[in-house]
A and B are shown apart, each in its own frame.
Chain A
Amino acid sequence: MTQNGFEKTGDDALDAAFAAARAARPQPSAALMAAIRADAAREAAAAPRAARPRPAPARASTRPWAGFWRALGGWPSAGTLAASLVLGIAIGGQQAVPLAGLDILAPASGPLDEAAVADLLPGIDAFLTEG
């Protein structure tokens, strides 16, 4: 049961005492309110900047290759990779120079015969025959 929004206790003396207490609620003095407002101003001024709202972090990209790009290391790594690629192409594009002394490995026609191999590897016969 309520009376003016307050629950009644069923005891007249108690209800009267509570009503008297509600009617006699202390009101804050002007001095107290001024002191509280001064505290608020001082605390707001002294609040560490780190506690103030910070700019939102850069929004994460939703592009599918963004993760791959980050994994590569971004622009600096991409520059190094590109330079390496150009150098590799330049080297690979040079005309091949035959290695002197290895003409036997590239006979003019037909596969290498056994005699040629035996000349190159003198111990191969023993190895092949010992099973």
Chain B
Amino acid sequence: MTRGMTALRSPHADLSDDALMALQAEGDGAAAAELAVRHVPRVLSLAQRMLGGDRAEAEDVAQEAMLRLWRAAPGWEPGRARLSTWLWRVAANLSTDRLRRRRQVALDQVPEPEDGAPGVVARLIAADRLAALQAALDALPERQRLAVVLRHIEGSSNPEIAEVLETSVEAVESLTARGLRSLAAALAGRRSEVGFEE
């Protein structure tokens, strides 16, 4: 649910994540709702990209990551960790665990584009690009994939990614650069399929 889907502005919309965690620990449902609105979309997006586009598994990961957040609320120390980074790390670890359980993801599990809708050609092209990107992402080592998704799809900064991966900024830059080279090579072989034929 996005902010646009909420009929009314949350009474806690102006509070910090840390303040909302303290309220959640006291059982304030509105605080939990605000935290969910802020963070679930990006956690879900990250999990879906990490899990080969599997929506159902991504939702499981998002719910499990948020459950761990609720359990952490009573002992949450304000200022100690950025909540978004904490959640991304949990979601990344949960996704990695699932990937290790099912190593191979079939390409035919990538959602098919819907037919008959306006702009179907454009959507097909976009869907093909997404499918090609997802396939290329799936072929990357997990840490490269996570760094690339966080940097280029979720828009995170390198220091944030370094926190998630528990490594240095220089290591993140190296992971991202290697990931991009692999992705570029993979997409170059599929230019005609994804609408980049010149």
Contacts and interface: CB of A to CB of B under 8 A. Distances in A.
Interface in A1-40: 5-7, 9, 11-14, 16-18, 20-30, 32-33, 35-37, 39-40
For B28, B37, B129, B194, which residue has the most chain A Cβ atoms within 10 angstroms?
B129
A96 to B, nearest CB: 70
Given A16-B196, A32-B62, A43-B73, A37 B180 contact: no
Contacts of A70: none
Given A43-B67, A43-B71, A44-B70, A33 B187 contact: no
Given A25-B41, A41-B27, A17 B1 contact: no
A60 B136 CA distance: 62
A47 interface: yes
Contacts of A59: none
B180 A9 contact: yes
Contacts of A30: 1, 5
B25 interface: yes
Contact of A12 (B32, B58, B196): B196
Given A13-B187, A40-B66, A7 B133 contact: no
Interface in B32-47: 32-33, 35-37, 40-42, 44-45
Contacts of B130: 17, 20-21, 24
Looking at chain B's contact residues, the main secondary structure is: helix
A20 B133 contact: yes
A45 interface: yes
A48 B71 CA distance: 11
A13 B184 contact: yes
Contact of B27 (A5, A21, A36, A45): A45
Given A20-B130, A52-B25, A52-B74, A9 B152 contact: yes
Looking at chain A's contact residues, the main secondary structure is: helix
Of the four ranges (under 10, 10 to 19, 20 to 34, 35 or more), the interface on chain B belongs to 35 or more
Given A36-B36, A40-B29, A16 B1 contact: no
Given A35-B63, A47-B25, 14 more contacts: A11-B187, A17-B130, A18-B152, A21-B49, A21-B130, A25-B41, A25-B42, A26-B44, A28-B41, A29-B59, A33-B37, A39-B63, A40-B36, A44-B24
Interface of B: 1-2, 5, 24-29, 32-33, 35-37, 40-42, 44-45, 48-49, 55, 58-59, 62-63, 66-67, 70-71, 73-75, 126, 129-130, 132-133, 151-153, 155, 180, 183-184, 187-188, 191, 194-196
A-B interface, 6 closest residue pairs, ranked by CB to CB distance from nearest: A40-B32, A51-B74, A44-B27, A43-B70, A17-B133, A33-B1
